[in-house]
A and B are shown apart, each in its own frame.
Chain A
């Protein structure tokens, strides 16, 4: 039973990491809290749903297509709109992305209706002794971790990834080195949207979803970022896994209705004691 709780927590944690990593990247590099992140995830889930319904493509294989679409949308949005106020105080950028989110959310409610949907694919279960592992969830977790890993290597070793890290460390110095900061901001925002879309594809197959869930995903992203530390992939990974395991155990011990409260209380405590997060570096926030 206890191992089962741990496995459930890890599966949840892998998805949380994937949900939060794009949000964390945008927050860390652009200093923008993207209130649209939850809607991006739900949008990704709907796109995966329609791709499956129309073309019969399994959501796992729709990740590049859906992610690519969201990347393009995110890039244009940052380039055309958010870049104009990116240096303003947090209140301004947060309010702006919240306003944009209201538009996107309204469009989704009108376009997709508020009925919950799910891509229903029975992929069977694996059983080890008393443990039951649904294949779809395990596969979704594996894919989530794979995508998070890919993002890590993109940031570490590709040209554009190193430029993103450089802009994050010192924007002026990066600009002096010939990095086009505006472009890098837009790419970063696009990558955040890509990861949100990918997370949406994975969620489409595991949970029922509807536009009403945008706030839930956004809340998770917040908690994971604060727990793990901003702007770094390992931070989001650790934060996601920690939150998943804690929610899973507190759900088993205290009852599922308290799992979310525990997560937020954990976040406040960490904010007060270690504002840089578990994996954060001092002076790097």
Chain B
């Protein structure tokens, strides 16, 4: 690792320390906001495996998130303690994405995009119609964490942070290793990658499974956090599009891009929410349009931050 790498890791460590201190120093609003930042960071890093490194336009994020939320909530309602329920949800989401990935990763481009959107729709339909188990459109209540809102806020912030850090560690492992190299080859030219001996199917499936694993875990933690889930909230098509937009805002297929994107996006969103309540969606849409036209490579591709991060060695 170079000195710049250490500097970036140090910066990240400072950020994490800051977020750890929030429950002690900040108010409930700030705790909630930081929990969202951690949750979306986990999902953005998760999407980055398949959407960023492998370049596959996956819109299945909400499918994994919702699946994890429902598995976690159902297990908790049947008496399983919280953390084991999350681990089970993680395993189920990983298994689901492995099985589904083996099928739909054979599709490319638009067909893959549509297949992955369809996953969200199908799971949402199942969750809304399978009343006996999922409660249908009425949703599910999840047992509240005892100990008061302040304590619960701290527990969930730290949990989400832990999931995000695990996702970051996995990204670090992928980025520096053989897997990341293979995925980048696939993004550039899958046929050529296959030709030179990269097992594209295996690599893509691993990336997709990692993506499902972390989204599902974040979903399970989310279900325990908000203590109530319903199909339209968890299998939300907006989530499925928002996460890729966050990653692209920061820089897809990079180590720190997803994190930067999440922070900038959430700060923008919060400012917009508070000042343009009626125009919230329109302003968000405008940001997306501006992003596509003026920041196609994400914020990391801008000259200035790159120069700052590499310590002025460019």
Binding site for B on A (CB under 8 A): 27, 31, 33, 81, 84-85, 88-92, 94-96, 98-103, 105-107, 109-110, 215, 219, 222, 226, 257-258, 260-261, 264-265, 267-268, 271-272, 275, 285
Contacts and interface: CB of A to CB of B under 8 A. Distances in A.
Contacts of A89: 55, 57, 109
A257 B289 contact: no
B286 interface: yes
Contacts of A101: 285
A90 B110 contact: yes
B282 interface: yes
A240 B281 CA distance: 31
Contacts of A222: 114, 117-118
Interface centre among B109, B119, B121, B286 (most CB of A within 10 A): B121
Nearest to B280: A106
Contacts of B113: 33, 90-91, 94
Q: Which 5 A-B pairs have the closest CB atoms?
A: A99-B288, A102-B285, A106-B282, A103-B285, A261-B125
B57 A265 contact: no
Contact of B292 (A99, A105, A107, A257): A99
B169 interface: no
Given A33-B113, A95-B244, A99-B286, A271 B57 contact: no
Interface in B84-121: 103-104, 106-107, 109-111, 113-115, 117-119, 121
Nearest to A268: B118
B241 interface: yes
Nearest to A261: B125
A105 B281 contact: yes
Interface centre among B109, B281, B286, B291 (most CB of A within 10 A): B281
Given A90-B110, A94-B113, A106 B279 contact: yes
Nearest to B288: A99
B4 interface: no
Nearest to B137: A257
Interface residues on B, range: 35 or more
A212 to B, nearest CB: 11
Given A106-B280, A267-B118, A275-B107, 20 more contacts: A85-B292, A94-B113, A95-B291, A96-B288, A99-B289, A99-B292, A100-B289, A106-B285, A107-B282, A219-B121, A222-B118, A226-B111, A261-B129, A268-B104, A268-B122, A271-B104, A271-B111, A271-B118, A272-B103, A272-B106
B293 interface: yes
B167 to A, nearest CB: 20
A105 B286 CA distance: 12
A213 B244 CA distance: 24
Nearest to B292: A96
Interface string B255-297: 0000000000000000000000011111011111101110010
Interface of B: 51, 55, 57, 103-104, 106-107, 109-111, 113-115, 117-119, 121-122, 125-126, 128-129, 237, 241, 244-245, 248, 278-282, 284-289, 291-293, 296
Given A95-B241, A100-B289, A271-B114, A90 B109 contact: yes
A68 B108 CA distance: 35
A100 B129 CA distance: 32
Given A257-B129, A271-B115, A275-B111, A95 B121 contact: no
Contacts of B129: 257-258, 261
Nearest to B110: A90
A264 B122 contact: yes
Contacts of B111: 226, 271, 275, 285
Given A268-B122, A271-B104, A33 B289 contact: no
Contact of A92 (B107, B122, B285, B296): B296
B285 A271 contact: no
19 contacts: A85-B293, A89-B57, A91-B51, A94-B57, A95-B245, A96-B288, A99-B288, A102-B288, A103-B285, A103-B286, A106-B280, A215-B237, A222-B114, A226-B114, A260-B125, A264-B122, A267-B114, A272-B106, A285-B111
B104 A264 contact: no
